[in-house]
Amino acid sequence: MNRLVEKTAEDSGVWQVVACASQHHARRLEEMERMRTENDSLKLRGVGEFKDEGNRKRPRDEASGVHTNVWDDFASDVMNGKAIPGVI
């Protein structure tokens, strides 16, 4: 590795790729560390309406008979040959 570092010209394409990859990796590590510390601080605060598991889910009113599954609606439209707005 030392020989490669010492004998490779700085304007070499290989050297530039290695340098860019190293810099990119360092930036990603910094970003991940920043996100980890931000996540930890948010966990410690523990405030907000989504703290409790029950607040994260929308209640379903299955008794109303309202069909709300978008994927079933999409499959039905495709099977019936209905055009998708904005696509066809």
Is 79 inside any structural domain?
no
Is 33 inside any structural domain?
yes
Is 75 inside any structural domain?
no
Amino acid 52: pLDDT: 67
Q: Tell me the pLDDT tens digit for each residue of 63-83.
A: 555 656 788 888 888 888 776
> What's the Cα-to-Cα distance from 35 to each of 13, 21, 38, 39, 42, rounded to whole Å?
33, 21, 5, 6, 10
Is 40 inside any structural domain?
yes
Is 72 inside any structural domain?
no
Alpha helices in the chain (DSSP H): 2-7, 13-45, 70-79
The CA R_g of the chain, rounded to the nearest whole Å, is 27
Return averaged pLDDT per consecutive 10 residues of the chain, 88 residues in all: 74 82 94 94 74 65 63 83 65
Show the domain range for 15: 1-47
Is 26 inside any structural domain?
yes
Amino acid 88: pLDDT: 52
> What's the Cα-to-Cα distance from 30 to each of 17, 37, 39, 41, rounded to whole Å?
20, 11, 14, 17
* Number of independent structural domains in the chain: 1
Is 70 inside any structural domain?
no
Q: What average pLDDT does the chain have?
A: 77
